[in-house]
Amino acid sequence: MGLLELDGLTRRFGTLTALDDLSFSVPAGEVVGFLGPNGAGKTTAMRAVFGLTDLDAGVVKWNGDPVGPAERRRFGYMPEERGLYPAMLVGEQLEYLGRLHGMSATDAESATRTWLDRLGVLDRVGSKVDALSHGNQQRVQLAAALVHGPELLILDEPLAGLDPSGIDAIGGVLVEQARAGCCVLFSSHQLDQVEDLCESVTIIDHGRLVVTGKVDDLATSGSPRLVVRVEGDRDGSWARGLKGVAISEVDGGAARLVLDPTVDSQTVLEAAMAKGRVTEFVFERRRLSEVFREAVR
Amino acid sequence: MSLRDVRFILPVVVVLAAAVRIRFRLRRRSAGRPGAARAARTPRAPRQPRPRRLPGFGPFSSDVGLVAAREIRERLRGRIFRIGTVIMLAVVAGAIIIPVLTKSTPQPQRVGVVGSLAAPLHAVVVASAKTNGTTVQFVPEPDQKAANDAVRSGNIDLAIVNGQNIVVDKPIDANDSSGTAQLAMNLGVAAAVQAAHLTPAQSAALAGAKPLPVSSLQPGAAKKKVHPTSLIGVILIFVMLTQYNTWTLIGVMEEKASRVIEVLLAAVRPIQLLTGKVLGIGLVAFAQAFLIVAVALTLSAAVGSSLLHGTGPLVVVSTLVWLVLGYSFYCWVYAAAGSLAQRQDQVQSLAFPLSIPIIFGYIISLTAAASGSPSALIKVLAYLPPTAPFAMPVLVGFGAITWWEFLASVAISILGTIAVARLATSIYTRAILRTGRRVRIREVVSRTAG
């Protein structure tokens, strides 16, 4: 079981600070979503793990020791922009990358076929990469990151521009890899998919860590949320004036309420019943998009 | 390289090339088969990587070898390479065969004889023909009239009447140096010698008379002829350096532009990637040059071309040596330039300044070869690593260089290559991961850049 730690990473490009004392860790066995607005420093942080950017301060550690070339050979990386030779045959390309990571020729060949088959593109093994559709290129790209059986997978926007079947295929592999004991970190802007795939998320902004934790914990943390629907009520006016209750939004008669921790939900129910027949009364989890918006506000 | 060596090497080259082609075909075919046997195997994540290669020189060389092997495979597969090889072979073959074909082989001269021709005169006719590079066929004619008719009709080239008179169709100038005028002169002398009743030894001495040597007090312009092989060699070096260095530049640029460099550098060090690339492309270049030279040598030997006469073999060896040295020197520079580029349209502006010393050395060397005397400039250029690959083979072609001068230039070139490789590697390492725009050279050579 491995553990990736980013410890105090700082990287400046002239006056721009891309990474600002960024620290977080990626444990084995879970899929960790890496979130942040555009330009937050996600790609720079991922490149730092592979030594592809110089650091002004900080260190990347694998199982407690600084990462060097030998460790990186056991990592798999999928860059945001396609990192494959456009005119090279898919099969030969994957075998080549496998061998560069230290596999024998026969192991590389069999792993190549295994992964192309698993990702549903084995029939393209003899095609040139640039003859493939966007979705298939992305699958081959993932296969390239996986072919040598890495202990750590770092994927920059692996789901961007994919159709639902592509998302299912790639997402399924990520979860499967994590279950098999791999460390998986991937960045994305599709928060719904991150919520579905990830056990944990790390959110950064301006190169700084903002939030990190289990998706479940983040969703249930903070103030309790209630969705209350009262027959005939359109604007949730009954909830105004309730002490310690804020109306987050009213959508088609359903009032989303944020309660102070001290407020008893029973009080709210009584107020609603006084207004009319209550047709919906649900405690709601925070959605990841809400966590994200609050975090990077 | 002797002819025997060539005869041995050529089949080896052909067999190797065929073997490589067949191997690629087979690999391709098996790769193209979608439902091949192993396809049905259940997916498996190879989790535990086997122990890595031993540290030290081993992994370095094996990674460099993998990178080089990929370059070789991709380059040999390219259409440009195959067509280029065929064109170059055709050009070289043409350069060898055409001069041989255009050299006309003379027909035997038909000489009509009226009456008898004394043995000494007979010998003079044969000897005259020989000096003119032809042979003689004697045709007996019954009388002068028949001989005149035969000359007029072109059946015979000339007729000798009773050893006294020569009949030709068209009048000739007495000062003419043509074969007929010489023959008439020689026959006259031979007749006079015969009439003087000299001893055979005296006759022979007269017949073997040679002009006196003439010595001048002022030195003449010592016009040496450059060996034609060195011209072909210089052109070959120019074409190959231009082509293969451009490949290196574009190859590096494409790795950067496609971001495949990020995936590669996650596994290997920049120096390994760079070394493997220039080594692979260099091996392809040398194999192509070797094939061309082997074909050229075989053809020359087969058709009896003059390309291998004299210092020819020496020029061939020095051409190959300087192709290697020239490529070794320039490949690093072009690779570093490629690491500064990001897009195809930046290639031209980067390649142009680098090609100036190549074009300069090439033109000066060709001009010197054509002028017939090695100038002082070319003797200087022969010791500068950027221009030596062109100047040195020309000097060798002139026979105007000693072995230690040659080796001194080789040594300077190797030292220059080491210096250039170090600088280029450092530029490459700094520039290859900088994306977004063209990297300025100033940004990557200063020590503080990062």
Query: Does residue B88 lie within any of the structural domains?
Result: yes
Identify the weakest region by mean pLDDT among A262-276, B16-30, B37-51.
B37-51
To the nearest whole Å, the CA of A244 is away from the closest chain B CA by 51
Contact B280, B71 (CB under 8 A): yes
Got the DSSP string for B83-112?
Answer: HHHHHHHHHHHHHHHHHHHHSPPPPPEEEE
Verify whether the Cβ–Cβ distance A96 to B66 is below 8 Å. Answer: yes
Residue of A53, A73, A91 lying closest to B52 (CB–CB): A73
DSSP state of A128: B
Query: Does residue B103 lie within any of the structural domains?
Result: no
Say yes or no: A56 contacts chain B, CB-CB below 8 A: no
C-alpha to C-alpha distance for B101 and A68, rounded to whole angstroms:
66
- CB-CB neighbours of B27 under 10 Å: 15
Query: Does residue B385 lie within any of the structural domains?
Result: yes
C-alpha to C-alpha distance for B110 and A21, rounded to whole angstroms:
103
B180 and B264 fall within a common domain:
no
Got the DSSP string for B127-140?
Answer: HHHHHTT--EEEEE
Helix (H/G/I), strand (E/B), else coil: A24:
strand
What tokens does B51 get?
Answer: 């122990």
Average pLDDT, integer, range B300-315: 76
Q: What is the pLDDT of residues A9-59, one digit of tens each?
A: 999 888 888 999 999 999 998 999 999 888 889 999 999 999 888 889 999
Of B153, B182, B197, the last residue of a domain is B197
Query: Does residue B34 lie within any of the structural domains?
Result: no
Q: Give every CB contact of residue B211 below 8 A, 6+ residues apart in sequence.
A: none
pLDDT surpassing 70 at residue B40 = no
pLDDT confidence of residue A91: 94
- CB-CB neighbours of B159 under 10 Å: 23
pLDDT surpassing 60 at residue B308 = yes
Query: Does residue B358 lie within any of the structural domains?
Result: yes
C-alpha to C-alpha distance for B248 and B226, rounded to whole angstroms:
33
DSSP state of A89: B
pLDDT confidence of residue B445: 65
pLDDT surpassing 70 at residue B163 = yes
Query: Does residue B292 lie within any of the structural domains?
Result: yes
Query: Does residue B114 lie within any of the structural domains?
Result: yes
Residue whose tokens read 């890496």: A34
DSSP state of B40: G
To the nearest whole Å, the CA of A165 is away from the closest chain B CA by 18
pLDDT surpassing 60 at residue B60 = no
Its pTM stands at 0.72
B257 and B383 fall within a common domain:
yes
B283 and B188 fall within a common domain:
no
| Number of residues that this document lists for chain B | 450
C-alpha to C-alpha distance for B397 and B370, rounded to whole angstroms:
12
Q: Work out the mean pLDDT of chain A and round it to a whole number.
A: 89
**Three-class DSSP labels, B21-83:** HHHHHHHHHHHHCCCCHHHHCCCCCCCCCCCCCCCCHHHHHHHHHHHHHHHHHHHHHCHHHHH
Q: What is the pLDDT of residues B346-390, one digit of tens each?
A: 888 888 899 999 999 999 998 888 887 788 888 899 999 999 999
C-alpha to C-alpha distance for A278 and A268, rounded to whole angstroms:
11
Helix (H/G/I), strand (E/B), else coil: A38:
coil
Verify whether the Cβ–Cβ distance B263 to A83 is below 8 Å. Answer: yes
Verify whether the Cβ–Cβ distance B49 to A84 is below 8 Å. Answer: no
To the nearest whole Å, the CA of B74 is away from the closest chain A CA by 8
Pick B179 or A42 by higher pLDDT.
Answer: A42
Beta bridge partners of A4: A26, A62
Beta bridge partners of A208: A205
B167 and B276 fall within a common domain:
no
CATH, residue B170? 3.40.190.10
B116 and B259 fall within a common domain:
no
Residue at B361: amino acid letter: G
C-alpha to C-alpha distance for A53 and B136, rounded to whole angstroms:
86
pLDDT confidence of residue B4: 44
pLDDT surpassing 70 at residue B248 = yes
pLDDT confidence of residue A244: 87
C-alpha to C-alpha distance for A271 and A238, rounded to whole angstroms:
7
Q: What is the pLDDT of residues A205-232, one digit of tens each?
A: 999 998 888 888 888 777 788 889 998 8
B299 and B397 fall within a common domain:
yes
Say yes or no: B3 contacts chain A, CB-CB below 8 A: no
Average pLDDT, integer, range A145-166: 90
Radius of gyration of chain A (CA): 23
pLDDT confidence of residue A6: 92
Verify whether the Cβ–Cβ distance B267 to A97 is below 8 Å. Answer: yes
C-alpha to C-alpha distance for B372 and B379, rounded to whole angstroms:
14
Contact B291, B88 (CB under 8 A): no
Q: Which residues in B lie closer than 8 A to residue A70 (C-beta atoms)?
A: 52
What tokens does B136 get?
Answer: 């003689």
Query: Does residue B260 lie within any of the structural domains?
Result: yes
Say yes or no: A12 contacts chain B, CB-CB below 8 A: no
pLDDT confidence of residue A144: 93
B270 and B318 fall within a common domain:
yes
Query: Which domains does chain A possess?
Result: 3-219 (3.40.50.300), 222-285 (3.30.70)
Residues 238-257 of B with CB under 8 A from A: 254-255
B253 and B231 fall within a common domain:
yes
**Residue A1 host element (H or E):** none
Shortest CA distance to A88 belongs to which of A145, A128, A124, A121?
A: A128
Residue at B75: amino acid letter: R
Sheet arrangement for strand A152-156:
A75-78, A152-156, A183-187, A31-35, A200-205, A208-214
To the nearest whole Å, the CA of B447 is away from the closest chain A CA by 14
Say yes or no: A14 contacts chain B, CB-CB below 8 A: no
C-alpha to C-alpha distance for B391 and B381, rounded to whole angstroms:
6
pLDDT surpassing 70 at residue B223 = no
Got the DSSP string for B136-205?
Answer: EEEEEESSHHHHHHHHHHTSSSEEEETTTEEE-SS---TT--SHHHHHHHHHHHHHHHHHTT--HHHHHH
Beta bridge partners of A281: A228
Say yes or no: A101 contacts chain B, CB-CB below 8 A: yes
Of B197, B217, B236, the last residue of a domain is B197
Which of A113, A118, A141 is the mutation pick for testing B, counting most B CBs within 10 A? A113
Which of A13, A60, A85 is the mutation pick for testing B, counting most B CBs within 10 A? A85
B189 and B233 fall within a common domain:
no
Beta bridge partners of A152: A75, A183
Of B179, B197, B215, the last residue of a domain is B197
Please tell me the total count of domains within chain B.
2
Range of the domain at B325: 3-23+79-96+226-445
Shortest CA distance to A23 belongs to which of A73, A57, A69?
A: A57
Verify whether the Cβ–Cβ distance A122 to B63 is below 8 Å. Answer: no
Shortest CA distance to A138 belongs to which of A117, A154, A161?
A: A161
Hey, CA dihedral for A114, A117, A123, A124, is it positive or negative? negative
C-alpha to C-alpha distance for B416 and B431, rounded to whole angstroms:
22
Q: What is the pLDDT of residues B106-153, one digit of tens each?
A: 677 888 888 887 777 787 788 777 777 678 888 888 888 888 888 888
Beta bridge partners of A250: A255
Residue whose tokens read 């004392």: A21
Q: What is the pLDDT of residues A63-80, one digit of tens each?
A: 999 998 888 989 999 998
B267 and B163 fall within a common domain:
no
Radius of gyration of chain B (CA): 33
B233 and B128 fall within a common domain:
no
B159 and B191 fall within a common domain:
yes
